[in-house]
Amino acid sequence: MVGSDGNLAQVRHVILVLSGKGGVGKSTITTELALALRHAGKKVGILDVDLCGPSIPRMLSVGRPDVHQCDSGWVPVYTDAEKSLALMSIGFLLEDPDEAVVWRGPKKTAMIAQFVSDVAWGELDVLLVDTPPGTSDEHLAVLENLKKHKVDGAVLVTTPQAVSTGDVRREITFCKKTGVRILGIIENMSGFVCPHCSECSNIFSKGGGEELAKLTGSVFLGCVPLDPLLSTCIEEGKDFMQSFPDSATFSAISSISQTLLDSLQTA
């Protein structure tokens, strides 16, 4: 499915990454899915429109580069020499990374509208859109502007506890009301992987995401455990998928990304 015009014309698939609440690891999942898709040979882009906490530049160790403009808009920042992973973050455009974004709705939605339409992505297999948590004006602004081109669907991120799955249930309702296809649910922080013996302990309970998928008739994409190795890579801006290919977490993320690719082919 290829868009008909504009900067998304050569982007084959657009996936929103949503969560009903903050702190469930949505940006981490977005980053690791992008890296997994890149390792699978895909050209990937990440659009980070999380105004409140644009953290993906740090996770990919790109810092605060100068954003350049070309005739068709802003040029994304490439994280590798092969230019197979492109990133545009709202954080690049904020004058001071430590300042809070204290903007009213209209200014936020105008910024997001410009941001969604004015990035010159070029040719991409998959564009992942990291959204703010919840179901706010920002989501509607992202959707309204992306829908002019296309949105393949949304991936919902939750943690296992009932308080998180309850919030994701509202996100599912949001998707249905706005006509966004739900590609699946990911249960993040699903157990803790011991760095010494690799045993997995369910410190946050387990199975909430899978149960929610069953109750709502959604696809369950899989579980990603709490893994200190993954946390270290995220903090240091290293590629976990390249550093720890033998880990169970690697297998989990790779499996989820492959399931996603398969579902996009059948869309």
- How do residues 126-151 score in pLDDT, each as one tens digit? 999 998 776 666 767 777 778 777 88
Between 28 and 146, whose confidence is greater? 28
- 182: which DSSP letter? E
pLDDT band at 253 (very low <50, low <70, confident <90, very high): very high
> Taking the mean position of all CA atoms in its chain, how far away is CA 87?
11
End-to-end CA distance of the chain: 9
Whether the per-residue pLDDT at 22 is higher than 90: the answer is no
Of 120, 156, 210, nearest in space to 18 by CA? 156
Owner of token pair 């994304």: 76
Q: Residue 63 annotated as binding?
A: no
Q: Return the number of other C-beta atoms located less than 10 Å from residue 242's C-beta.
A: 12
Q: Residue 21 annotated as binding?
A: yes
Whether the per-residue pLDDT at 256 is higher than 90: the answer is yes
Q: Which residues of 68-83 are buried (b: 16+ CB within 10 A; e: fewer)?
A: eeeeebbbbbebeeee
Q: Residue 194 annotated as binding?
A: yes
pLDDT band at 21 (very low <50, low <70, confident <90, very high): low
Q: Residue 255 annotated as binding?
A: no
Q: Looking at 27-41, 101-115, 179-193, which range is the least confident one?
A: 101-115
Q: Residue 55 annotated as binding?
A: no
Q: Is-contact 21 132, C-beta < 8 A?
A: no
Residue 136 CB-density burial (10 A; 0-12 exposed, 13-18 middle, 19+ buried): middle
Of 15, 253, 23, 7, nearest in space to 132 by CA? 23
Q: Residue 147 annotated as binding?
A: no
pLDDT digits (tens, 9 = 90+) for 38-74: 999 999 999 998 776 678 988 998 877 778 888 888 9
pLDDT digits (tens, 9 = 90+) for 201-218: 777 667 778 888 888 888
Q: Residue 22 annotated as binding?
A: yes
Per-residue confidence (pLDDT) for residue 200, from 0 to 100: 76
